[in-house]
Amino acid sequence: MGIGDMATTRRRLGYSHSGNTATKVGNIFGAVMSTVFFAPLMFVAYVLVRADGGPAIVRHERVRGGGTSFMAWRFRTHRQAVEAVGGHPSFASTEPELSAVGSILSRTRIEVMPLLYNVIRGDLTLSEMMDEV
Answer yes or no: is pLDDT of 15 > 70: no
pLDDT of residue 122: 86
Q: Give φ, ψ of 40 to 5 degrees.
A: -60, -40
Beta strands in the chain (DSSP E): 57-63, 69-75
CA separation for the pair 59, 114 (Å, rounded): 10
Q: What ranges do the domains of the chain cover?
A: 25-132
How far is the CA of 3 from the CAs of 6, 10, 116, 129, in angstroms?
5, 11, 24, 17
Closest of 50, 70, 52 to residue 61, by C-alpha: 70
Q: Which amino acid is at 129?
A: M
Q: What is the DSSP letter of 99?
A: -
Closest of 72, 78, 77 to residue 116, by C-alpha: 72
pLDDT of residue 54: 82
Q: Give φ, ψ of 69 to 5 degrees.
A: -125, 160
The predicted-structure confidence for 26-85, as pLDDT tens digits, reads as follows: 999 999 999 999 999 999 999 999 998 888 999 988 887 778 888 989 998 888 764 444
* 84-100 mean pLDDT: 58
| Predicted model pTM | 0.69
